[in-house]
Amino acid sequence: MSSTLMKTSLSRSLVVHILLSVACIVATFPIFRVIAISFRNTDTVSASSQTSFPAPGQASFDDYIHFYTDAILPKELLTALKAPAKPTAQLATPKTDEAAPAAPKSDDPFAELDAASEQKSERTWYSNYTDLFTKHLFLQWIYNSLIISLSASLIGIILAATAAYAFSRFEFPGKKLASGFLFMSQMIPGPLMIIPVYLVIKSLNLGNTYAGLVVAMSVTILPFSIMVLKGYFDTVPKSLEEAARVDGCTAASAFFRILLPLSTPALAIAFLFAFTNAWSEFLLASTLIDNVELRPWTLGLMEFSGSYDARWGLFAAGSVVIALPTMSLFLYSSKYVISGLTVGGVKG
């Protein structure tokens, strides 16, 4: 009986692991695909540059394996690693007194395109990354995103903390109505808020500026931050603040010296979500920012995906570089994310 139960549990465990492995492969396929494109020396991913696939019903299992392997593996990088090092020494050319005759000018209208294609074929496997930092305003776009995201997150967290403290500790007319309005504001689609926000920012003469985008993003992240912080403030005993008031603290000093230090997990989770939303904001940025030098990275990368010139190698390289800091931030602060998501979930 025990052996039968053991075999059943092993078979179930094997099935679960197989399903999880397939799910992980499907979920991570786009990531490896983007990484592979970032190393490819091509400006477009056209049908001629992709591996041909057999007709429906004629593909074998090996065809699928080869097709997806070619899609996710950076061939240029693997080829560069396997290729032997090129000798640095060059053969000496005989000196001549007469200047070399100039090459005759070709009348072929496609000669320049052929020359550009030949120069393009001499690019290295990391050319997309070097071009991204040397030939484009990629660093400026990252700087703009950092300034806007940090400013909007800090302002939003400060305003959300004070508002959440008021909702948690004080009774005032219209408190329930204001709380319900905050919940309902989360159900409004983002595109519906673009026109009102645009009109307000333009009326303040803050269009096409850092300040206008920071104000707009701070407003959009307030409702979620207030709900997270209020849920945590409700779990902190009021007796701690009352004891601080007895010792001579005012309401403001008790808030900053007692409540906020105890609310580090909630503040961390609210800041992380606010920073992530501001870092990846596109609609507000495309509406309020016109100057190329003021664009965040979300708008900057759109320069590589035009209607007639799609430079997907540069686009993918920029996406990989942008994803690294956000992934590192979440991996470092994962403990705060887990604890912050559960605060306020148990009452009493």
Q: What is the CATH number of domain 138-342?
A: 1.10.3720.10
- The pTM (predicted TM-score) of the whole model is 0.73
pLDDT category of residue 346 using cuts at 50, 70 and 90:
very low
For residue range 165-177, list pLDDT tens digits in order: 988 888 888 888 8
pLDDT category of residue 348 using cuts at 50, 70 and 90:
very low
**Which part of the chain has CATH 1.10.3720.10?**
138-342
In the Cβ-directed half-sphere of 268, how many Cα atoms lie within 13 Å?
Answer: 19
More confident residue, 195 or 86: 195
Q: With CA atoms as reference, report the closest residue to 231 among 257, 266, 256, 264.
A: 266
For residue range 233-287, list pLDDT tens digits in order: 888 888 888 888 888 888 888 888 888 888 888 888 888 888 888 888 888 888 8
Q: What is the mean pLDDT of the chain?
A: 78
pLDDT category of residue 342 using cuts at 50, 70 and 90:
low
